[in-house]
Chain A
Amino acid sequence: MTDTGRRLLRTPQGVLGLALLAALLLLCLFGGALAPYQPEAMDFAGRFAAPGARHWFGADQLGRDVLSRLLVGARSTVPLAVGATFSGAALGACLGTLSAYLGGRWDEAITRTIDAVMAVPHLLLALILVSTLGKGSLNASFAIAIAVVPSMARVTRSVALVVRRQEYVQAAIARGESGGWIVVAEMLPNVAAPVIIEATIRVAFAVMLFATLSFLGLGAQPPASEWGLMVSEARRFMHQAPWVIVAPSLAIAATAICFNLLGDGLRDALNPRDER
């Protein structure tokens, strides 16, 4: 693990990604403590205050401090997206590996069905799920987890197929190892690395999807200070107070960039270096 960490720090993407991740972690844990104001504290006199000494990022239509809402909003935006991605990825990975291992008709049937489900855009699938389950952050994150399963299954399957063809798997089959042992002991450790990389990059996508759902009113509900929700609420007032939109937008972008960088860095760090 630490070896991976060290190699991650050797790449510029890894360094930047880890730095951003650390910042996000700080925000999620201590955002409330760091916030200068209470995120729900309304101040009708200070509505639409421009960014300045009192409100570093300005105030929104109800006079709430944007910076405080931003800092607290990390907790609403990031952890659920991460959790959704990794649970969806875990499920998808099991499905993909199973399909690759079974091969033959089973593999074909599963793959075609996965492909069929992927014909529905992720956002649409998530929207339909959330509309059924009811609005809310938890349901939105559940919907995202489900939406992530098919694509992760696809990626896992193609990696597993490559691994299956390797001679060390052939050697295990020749030894007469049981199917379960081969999948767990020989295949999974080699499938895990690319899948983890892919999942990390998906987190960026999940954060964006979560924010989009909140923006459309189906994710986090007011008065939560989720970043997508902040943009949505401020849309009507974009003429008077554009900073209320810009700040959370940049926060979303920064989060997505963080996980994209991490995924890129992990790609280099997790590959066993081949000697030439």
Chain B
Amino acid sequence: MSVLEIRDYSLDYVTRDGTYHVLQDIDLAIAEGEVLGLVGESGSGKTSLAWAIMRHLPGNARELKGTLRLGDTDLCAAGSRALETIRGRRMSMVFQDPSTALNPTLTLGRQVSEVLVRHRGLSEREAWREAERALEHVELRDVPALMKRYPHQASGGEKQRVVIATAFACRPELIVFDEPTTALDVITGARILELFARLRAETGVAALYISHDLALVARVADRVAILEQGRIVEEAPADRIFRAPTQPYTRRLVAAVPRPDRRLVADQPASQAVLAADAIAVRYDRREATRNVHLDIRRGEILGVVGESGSGKSSLARALTGLAAYSGTIALDGRPVGRMDRVYRRAVQIVFQHPDSSLNPRQTVQSILARPLRLYGGDVATIPALLEAVRLPAHYARRYPHQLSGGEKQRVAIARAFAAQPELVICDEITAPLDVSVQASVVELLLSLRRQNGTAYLFITHDLNLVQQVAHRIAVMKAGEVVDLLDIEDIGRGKMHPYTRELMAAAPLPVG
């Protein structure tokens, strides 16, 4: 008998704007000890399925039909008392963001032990000791002291291990993982996945692993189901889903996943430098964000900058665009830059990470694009052409940002940068919040714009696979310094900084 069985399940959300069909005719089964990966983009309904299984749906949810069974228990029919004994004991959940999934005013130890008290009937003292053992088992160090600390005193990786320990504590039959590594750094996330693999082998627990990252899921799961707009379009063993996707949507997803071996840029950049930055140091109050950074970007080149959070890559971008005070020298086209004047600001543009906050919500697309045109001597009449260049219809000029999707907003931001006809565009993690297929189309757009205009890019990202597809050279940053600056051909072979090696090992490569 399956651990989890979902048959013909459909779910709607009723809102003021209408009824949304969130899930339709879902058929899934997870056998004992099996890990099923569920992959979907935003709006696919994958998180709603998790809530449906845990029986924690919002008030406006309407279950139209179908059954959800955990073992031999009908979940839909279970009353709230019954659910209280099932949750945490027979099925548990690991959440996406450990910072918000832990109560900030309770000690970490308490949040683990309370589950043990509740479901295994232990006394407070026994539960505390058992919790210590559980935390040691997930490879946390200095456990007795950690138990007494509060969430804000632990790192992201430590917190997620606590959450995982809590989920495993009562030996459940099924664990639902909702994007557990998305909020973590690449290396930390890789370690968590190793931990998961080990625990899974030890306990034989069945798991539903939800994520938007197909490459990651294909490595973690036994089978993968692809969810598109509430429907499961394909289900296959993990090793086959990449090699031989059968459905068109799956094929699109697979094609959009960044693969380092699929190079998207074939030419070589020129040799003269557009921008040369020397000994750049950025300080915020007492903290040193970057230290002694040397970089040069050549005409038409794509220079990738990778690093984890806190590595200083965004601070570098801010320094180069005059948004942060810095010490050091910058030279544009060989001429040193003292004060960043209009010439510099026109030549060096930036596109930000968050599409929701990079466009003024009270300005139309027309006004947003007209401003840089007016400032840098362009013609306002070229706005339709500009929109077309970023693959947006001309009538979007009349729209407000909240009427656009995330990907569309990023295109407008890119158009805004190109309105100045710059020589260098700094892209600060611009695809991070986007779905993988949207990301692929934005990257393709950037490359086509580069072909037309000869622009250079400083492409900041944490996605090593993506950067290997597009960059000519890659700079690796750690703790405010550039530890490696490599040509693309030298990546993977030859001498690399140990940190670069670690980063590369952590990046999930698709199988097949």
Contacts and interface: CB of A to CB of B under 8 A. Distances in A.
B321 interface: yes
A273 B402 contact: yes
Contacts of B80: none
A249 interface: no
Contacts of B375: 175-177
5 contacts: A167-B354, A173-B323, A189-B363, A272-B402, A274-B402
Interface residues of A, number: 17
Interface string B364-378: 000000011001000
Contacts of B342: 176
Nearest to B402: A272
Interface of A: 166-168, 170-171, 173-177, 186, 189-190, 272-275
B345 A176 contact: yes
Q: Which DSSP category, helix, strand, loop or mixed, fits chain A's interface?
A: helix
Interface size class of B (residues with CB under 8 A): 20 to 34
Contacts of A174: 321-323, 345, 349-350
B360 A175 contact: no
A186 B357 CA distance: 12
The 10 closest A-B pairs by CB, nearest first: A167-B358, A189-B362, A167-B352, A168-B360, A272-B402, A174-B321, A176-B345, A167-B357, A166-B357, A272-B361
Contact of B405 (A190, A273, A275): A275
Contacts of A168: 357-360
Nearest to A193: B362
B323 to A, nearest CB: 6
A171 B405 CA distance: 20
A272 B358 contact: no
A167 B361 CA distance: 11
B340 interface: yes
B400 interface: yes
Nearest to B372: A175
B472 interface: no
A184 to B, nearest CB: 12
B15 to A, nearest CB: 10
Given A272-B400, A275-B403, A275-B405, A173 B358 contact: no
Nearest to B428: A167
B379 to A, nearest CB: 17
Contacts of B352: 167, 170-171
A233 to B, nearest CB: 49
B323 A170 contact: yes
A189 B362 CA distance: 7
Contacts of B353: 167
Given A272-B400, A275-B402, A171 B322 contact: no
Nearest to B339: A176
Given A176-B340, A189-B362, A190-B360, A171 B403 contact: no
Given A176-B322, A177-B375, 8 more contacts: A167-B352, A167-B354, A167-B357, A176-B340, A190-B361, A190-B362, A274-B402, A275-B404
B221 to A, nearest CB: 28
